[in-house]
Amino acid sequence: MPFFRRGFGPGKGRGIARIWRAAFILLLLAEKPSHGYELASRLEEFELGSASIGQMGGIYRILTELEAEGLVMAEWDTSEPGPAKKNYRITAKGKMFLSRIADDFKNTKKILDRFIDRHDAIKDS
């Protein structure tokens, strides 16, 4: 997927941290459509986000790229008083991609578990 390939190049965010944040954003949107600030708050559960103003720009950049890739779509909500909120929801394409990410994470977890087991076996020797 182009979004994730772009994440590693110079000037394309924070590499792997940006990719992880995008994956968790897709997961959260699969659970429930949300606006950007709500996503930032929910990301804190994974220790990947912050509702600070500096972090919000990064979250909105990721959402914009996910939308451009067709992985999420956005609609303006004007039903409540105050400024309109842009609500995001995952698309069918986004759900398929999220499944691929989950499979990749499962494989990565197996590799990391082996690394940790081997490290633990030698750390006291």
Which residues span the domain enclosing 64?
2-122
pTM of the model: 0.79
User: Model confidence over 4-31: pLDDT tens digits?
Assistant: 554 434 445 557 777 888 999 999 999 9
Mean pLDDT per 10-residue segment, the chain (125 residues): 47 67 95 93 77 72 94 93 94 96 94 96 86
- The answer to whether 43 and 24 have CB atoms below 8 angstroms apart is yes
Mean pLDDT computed over every residue of the chain: 85
Q: What is the CATH number of the domain that holds 105?
A: 1.10.10.10
Three-state SS at 72: strand
Percent of the chain predicted with pLDDT > 90: 57
- Number of structural domains (the chain) is 1
